[in-house]
């Protein structure tokens, strides 16, 4: 069902970050890490997927992982898309951040996504995939002892998520508005 009216579809101003010169898109299942403080990492159009935004403000390293599924059933496929699964992707994200100079004890995380955009249970196991992803991401972070500073998850609307590497600020945009998590 559609809850938003069409006239609410006006442009939402995320121009300050969306026009960054060093915009790095993070596609489904990808992990991208940067130590350019002006870089902005972005995952577009997340439905049930979850964007994990990790940053170390001291080292000025930021990383984003675009999680598609909660638990790994197929280790081989994680070679091509290391961020596809929340459970095995999380250690990879942290290792990549460490390789770029981050310190595990300083890493903080913001997460966004995990919506339920399609309401009908189309296939067994697909129901509440967004919720399952969020739970798996939280569990994986807990076992790494990394705190979640803010989260914008669930609901029925798709999200685009930006992370500013230098500040750790996360911006989340939906069809009806944008929210900044500084």
- What residue ranges bind another protein (CB under 8 A)? 1-2, 4-7, 9, 27-30, 44-49, 66, 68-69, 73-77, 80-81, 84, 115, 117-120, 122-123, 126, 129, 157-160, 173, 175
Does the annotation mark 53 as catalytic? no
Nearest distance from C-beta of residue 18 to another protein, angstroms: 10
Catalytic residue (choose from 41, 49, 90, 107): 49
Whether the CA torsion 97, 103, 105, 110 is positive or negative: it is: negative
Which of residues 107 and 172 has its CB atom nearest to another protein in the complex? 172
Q: What strand order describes the sheet that includes 159-164?
A: 23-25, 40-46, 159-164, 170-174, 177-181
Between CA 144 and CA 151, with CA 149 as vertex, the angle to 5 degrees is 100
Cα–Cα distance, 158 to 176 (Å, whole number)? 10
In the bound state with another protein, the residue whose beta carbon lies nearer, of 103 and 121, is: 121
**How far apart are CB 16 and another protein at their closest, in Å?**
16
> Is the CB of 34 or the CB of 133 nearer to another protein?
133
CB of 173 to another protein, least distance (A): 8
In this structure, how many other beta carbons lie within 10 angstroms of the beta carbon of residue 142? 12
Nearer to another protein, 30 or 152 (CB): 30
Contact 135, 82 (CB under 8 A): no
Strands 23-25 and 50-56: unpaired
The least CB distance from residue 84 to another protein, in Å, is 6
| Nearest alpha carbon to residue 42 among 114, 32, 116, 15 | 32
Give catalytic residues, as residue numbers.
Answer: 49
């Amino acid at each position: 069902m559609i809850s938003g009216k069409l006239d609410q579809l006006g442009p939402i101003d995320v121009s300050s970050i969306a026009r960054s010169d060093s915009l790095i898109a993070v596609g489904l299942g990808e992990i991208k890490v940067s130590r350019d403080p002006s870089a902005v990492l972005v995952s577009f159009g997340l439905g049930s997927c979850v964007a994990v935004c990790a940053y170390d403000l001291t080292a000025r390293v930021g990383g984003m992982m675009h999680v598609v599924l909660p638990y790994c059933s197929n280790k081989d496929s994680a070679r091509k898309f290391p961020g596809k699964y929340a459970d095995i992707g999380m250690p990879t994200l942290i290792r990549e951040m460490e390789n770029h100079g981050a310190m595990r004890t300083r890493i903080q995380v913001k997460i966004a996504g995990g919506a339920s955009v399609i309401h009908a249970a189309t296939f067994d196991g697909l129901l509440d995939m967004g919720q399952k992803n969020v739970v798996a991401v939280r569990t994986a972070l807990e076992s790494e002892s990394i705190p979640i500073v803010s989260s914008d998850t669930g609901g029925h609307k798709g999200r685009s998520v930006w992370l500013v590497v230098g500040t750790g600020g996360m911006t989340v945009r939906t069809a009806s508005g944008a929210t900044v998590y500084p």
